[in-house]
Structure 1
Amino acid sequence: MRRLLHTLRSVLLPEGDLATRSVRSGAWELGLNLGTRGLELVVLVVLARLLTPADFGLIGIALLTFGGVNRLTRLGLDEALIYNADEDVDRYLDTAWTLSVVRGCALGAFIFLVAPVVAGVFGEPRAADVIRGIALVPVITGLRNPAALYFVKELQFHRQFVYRFSGSFVDFGVALAFALAFRSVWALVFGYLAGEATRLLASYLLHSYRPALRPDRALATEMLGYGKWITANNGLAFLLGKGDDVFVGWYLSATALGLYQVAFRTASAPATEVTKTISNVLFSTYAKLQGDDAALRRTFVRTMQLVSVVSFPMAVGIVVVAPAFIEGVLGPQWLPATGAMQLLAVYGLLVSLTAAFHQIWKALGRPDYVTRVGTVRLVALALVIVPATAAFGITGTAAAVAGVYVFVALPVDLFLMHRLIGVGPRRLAAEVAVPFTASVGMAATTLLVRASVAGVPAVVELVLLVAVGGASYAVLLVGLDRRFSWGLRGNLRVVSGAFGRSG
């Protein structure tokens, strides 16, 4: 037993050289995202059967209010300290915590006071109380142990897993129990609050540092100097990621917002699971590779290969199985979300593939690139979202979001990557060609199966499509890798090797 525990420790703990720690940390982060997403999906399916799209619209309005205020005022303190070349940043933590506490209390009070105004803007008076319930969240998060940033800075993602997943698990349990007992939208509110409170407790249990209200003006100025771009980027990220939700809720209705948000949460799996892993792990990794352009390029290219292996089949699979999934799992009342879900799956694919771009920019001290590209994208979206939504409802909104990313943001992203580290569109296309081709073959196979099983129950159809799609993709991917020597086996050896080396 002692030998087994030692083996598990050496395999799972993010120790060793930078490459080994990055891969192991990525595994922990991917496990966190998959586990969290799985719990969210269970709650989503249960509540979709118990509540209406309008009920989902109410909690959507509350979370948009919190998310908007939170993103637009985020100070970027954690990012500034992770970017800091010093391994020990303890001297900054009391100042960071003081700023966080003050900000959290101010945000909570502001959200509580503006709740009736926001509810009036959306034409949903019932949303006011839900918004006020969510107002406790920034107060709780502001009190977290600032030393939790070391989990990311030092690539200790086993601790980050416990820290984050503990809250997700409690959120899941409370929300599910309350939903089954009362069939109320408050299930999501109480679950959210319980999850954040659990993370607050975990942050102090997992790290021994104890902060105090001892701000230092010079240190605050230093952190905020870097964080100003993070603040701007987060504001843009909210407007780009949630601006469409705000528009749908205001322009259409709370019911339309509920449909759109469920479509987005389901279709954004590649962006959520893959992008979060990339963002949390690679920012720390790239920051440690500052000054080594060759290592940056190698790491970036390998990342694109691994991400594309997962992102392409997930996105294409969602497009194919969306009708069966909605009818068989969520229920027929959610069928109007089908077209939006399929388009947003394409958007999620693009976001997951380009996530590493933005992490390189931030790690190389150019977070302004993210801001500039986001601004261009936001302006383009503002020009097309109104006519698209007016013509096609939430499907038009999803088409506007995906289209702007394809025709506006992506070309600029590719140009900047070539300019910054010398990796151009042709090289990137070569790195994703094999999983793209395998995914197209998978789609063709599953569509043939779907045509041949027409008339069977939706749940049966969904199971068949997922099984056939997964198997066909695996066969095609392996075959294409052997035929064109794409490098899949080499990448898998790198990953397995990282788990085979002891710290």
Structure 2
Amino acid sequence: MSTPPPAPPSDDVPIGTLKHKAFGSAIWTFVRLGTDQAFNFVLFAILARLLGPTAFGVFALAYLYAEVGKIITTAGLMDALIREPKITDRIRDSVFWANIGFATILALAGLVLADPIARLLEVPAVAPLIKVLGFMLPISAAGASHMSLRLREFGHKTVALRSIVSGIVGGGAALVAAYLGWGVWAFVVQRFVFEVVGTILAWRAYPWIPGRQFSAHQLKALFAFSSNMLITQLLFMLLIRVQDVIVGKLIGSAAVGIYRTAWKMTEVIAQGTIQPFSTVALPTLSRLQNDPAGFDVAYRRLISTAAIFSLPALTGFGLVAGDAIVLLFGPQWTASVDVARVISCMALPFTIGFFTSPALAALGRSATISKLALVQVVLTVSLSLLAAPYGLVAVAGAYVVRAYVTTPLQMYALQRVQGVSMLKTFKSIAAPFFASLVMGAAVLIMQLILRDRINSPLLSLAVMVGVAALVYALALLGFGGAQMRGQIGQIKGFLRRRPATT
């Protein structure tokens, strides 16, 4: 018999309590992502100097198998656990053992598929990496259900602590391996240690021992929702990583490392500024799926708050990428600079896109998400193949063009399903958007003025960041003073008092 787990969240969560939980979860997600990104950033910079573009490119191609495997292993069931109104022992047990079974099959399949994949990519070095990385999947699957059940209860504090500890231990192991001369295998060491520590902590965070109440019938019922989520997650993963395959095949594995590094910088910023809010979007909006007015308010509040941080951060990074990348990673990564500048133009689509899928998932519209993702993947592949002969910057530009074409489609889908106005959504992010444009203009002017006056990249970067922060703050107050006061009031209310629970 299963060990009794913590009580699941009530279906009838008071709005005040839900708002407080969502905001508290966002705060803890900020802590987790801030710590993760700070540590991973330092780790990434050290490994970039030690290993170089080729090692990064080879690992990025090999890890693609593990990424696909992790998505197939969970089969979209993790989102189903979060969204399911009532959780029983039968549901928990069925999901857990299904994950373990899928992961074991894929680990064994990696032994067979590794060499054909390496031949297809024309990169022989990826074959042994794929064979080993496949056996990371059962380790990851063993803790996936526990973390999803914890997140269902807004347990983002626990998730934050787990992520911090796993990241530090895994990163430390990678540094040791790199200094010992293990090359690309340092990345493999990092992933294995991270997953082992994470799974151990997941079991401690959600003290539940899986039982034997596996039910194929129960899984079939969950698959009605999760199968579309599985397809969607695969499509969204391919949306980002399919360009690596195209670049690796047509340009080379070192080019993948250069391209992936430019993406890494942008992802660090996006995850640190947007993901704290998008992470709590699914559990929050799921509880408001039958309240269109409340759903609309919550959705726009989440996206507007994220935009305050994401739009200036991504815009600013694009402007200072030349100094930042060379200073952090060394001159061997100069080729990443122009790619990063182009990708930073994704600020607006990034901010909106991070919330559209959780919002549609909360409404049970996984089929709509899948269709949108398929359109995005097809356009990405088509445009990237056309752009690849012209180099990495053209490939990055193809992705940005695709994003601006499909973002309105995503917003229209949400408006059609739940009545979330596209115009109101744009208005909710108008203040940080225009403030970011003013900030960008100010930084460009300062760069022209100081071009021949500051020879130190570090000093130049510090000046640009200071100017950007000051101008953005003033512009944001000018364009959206009321919005800022509302956000500050919400933060003060969270810190000073407990919400009412009735």
Q: What TM-score, normalized to structure 2?
A: 0.92
How many Å separate the matches in 1 of 2:230 and 2:437? 39
Amino acid aligned to 1:401: Y
Amino acid aligned to 2:469: G
Cα deviation, residue 152, structure 1: 1.2
What is the aligned residue count?
A: 483
Which secondary structure does the structure 2 equivalent of 1:268 belong to?
helix
CA deviations on 1:129-173 (whole Å, 9 max, x unpaired) are 222232221021122262332221111211121233221121221
CA contact (8 A) 1:269 1:314 kept: no
CA contact (8 A) 1:98 1:214 kept: no
- Equivalences for residues 46-445 of structure 1 within 5 A: 46-72=46-72, 74-86=74-86, 88-144=87-143, 146-182=145-181, 184-347=183-346, 349-391=348-390, 393-407=391-405, 409-445=406-442
CA contact (8 A) 1:50 1:183 kept: no
Cα deviation, residue 395, structure 1: 0.9
Unaligned runs of at least 5 residues, structure 2: 1-14
CA contact (8 A) 1:269 1:348 kept: no
How many Å separate the matches in 2 of 1:90 and 1:475? 54
How many Å separate the matches in 2 of 1:348 and 1:170? 32
1:494 aligns to what? 490
1:5 aligns to what? none
2:9 aligns to what? none
Amino acid aligned to 2:246: F
Which secondary structure does the structure 2 equivalent of 1:52 belong to?
helix
1:9 aligns to what? none
How many Å separate the matches in 1 of 2:145 and 2:410? 33
Amino acid aligned to 2:332: Q
1:24 aligns to what? 24
How many Å separate the matches in 1 of 2:316 and 2:212? 50
Please provide the CA RMSD for this pair: 1.9
CA contact (8 A) 1:175 1:188 kept: yes
Amino acid aligned to 1:42: V
Cα deviation, residue 38, structure 1: 1.5
CA deviations on 1:348-396 (whole Å, 9 max, x unpaired) are 54122232221111111111111111111222223221121112x1111
- Equivalences for residues 33-52 of structure 1 within 5 A: 33-52=33-52
Change (3 A) 1:423 1:16: closer
CA contact (8 A) 1:328 1:457 kept: no
How many Å separate the matches in 2 of 1:92 and 1:425? 37
CA contact (8 A) 2:324 2:461 kept: yes
CA contact (8 A) 1:283 1:363 kept: yes
Could you list the structure 1 runs, at least 4 aligned residues long, displaced by more than 6 angstroms after superposition: none
Q: Greater CA deviation, 352-361 or 297-306?
A: 352-361
CA contact (8 A) 1:43 1:172 kept: yes
CA deviations on 1:266-303 (whole Å, 9 max, x unpaired) are 12234323443333211001111121111111111211
How many Å separate the matches in 2 of 1:199 and 1:497? 33
Which secondary structure does the structure 2 equivalent of 1:144 belong to?
helix
Cα deviation, residue 109, structure 1: 1.2
CA contact (8 A) 2:303 2:351 kept: no
How many Å separate the matches in 1 of 2:97 and 2:105? 12
Which secondary structure does the structure 2 equivalent of 1:465 belong to?
helix
Give % identity: 22
Amino acid aligned to 1:370: I
Which secondary structure does the structure 1 equivalent of 2:28 belong to?
helix
Change (3 A) 1:250 1:68: farther
Cα deviation, residue 317, structure 1: 0.7
